[in-house]
Chain A
């Protein structure tokens, strides 16, 4: 399996622009997670899905952030409008009910810079 695939790997945009991050989970995994990592706050869980349904979005920082999972093989995280404080590395991870104790596999991440 190719693992969790994220795109783009790097994104540079200007404040106020819409940003869309994409994720393809490992085939057969039924859980998908979006995280944000910064030096100040570490790795924070933003939202996670089970069988394409959002289960917990309490980590989404504000209404500018939204996430969707239209099918089992694709998810997006959208920021509109983007702000410089959104600059971070965004990771997608996936897991399976069948895996022992919720082991998560991470994608390579998207490094977002908002100027």
Chain B
């Protein structure tokens, strides 16, 4: 069973702090990894994708991938209350099939 594991949280951080979200995956054949943000009652929207080992930065967001450890993370710098949402980690497991983690709830306190 191919799986993507996340801590369900909630993760609570003060405004302006760095939020660190983590994810592990079981399928060593996975090539692409995604972070989606989902506000309550809304659909998932893509924030970042990464497929090479190392870091990828986009504005306040940094995705990190370590294929040897089968580990993906998302850092959110200068967290804002508007970042409060559930963050879904996902892995492409072959073809176009994508497996999603259960999500981590993030609360950013003003």
Contacts and interface: CB of A to CB of B under 8 A. Distances in A.
Interface residues of A, number: 23
Given A42-B103, A100-B49, A102-B32, A107 B43 contact: yes
A21 B12 CA distance: 36
A105 B45 CA distance: 7
Interface stretch (A48-56, A64-72, A77-85): A48-56
The bracket for how many chain B residues form the interface is 20 to 34
A83 B45 CA distance: 29
Interface string A76-115: 0000000000000001000100001111111111000000
B49 A103 contact: yes
B43 A55 contact: no
Interface in B49-87: 49, 51
Contact of A106 (B43, B102, B103): B43
Interface in B13-44: 31-32, 34, 42-44
Contacts of B31: 101
Interface of A: 31, 33, 35, 42-45, 48, 50, 55-56, 91, 95, 100-109
Interface of B: 31-32, 34, 42-46, 49, 51, 88, 92, 95-103
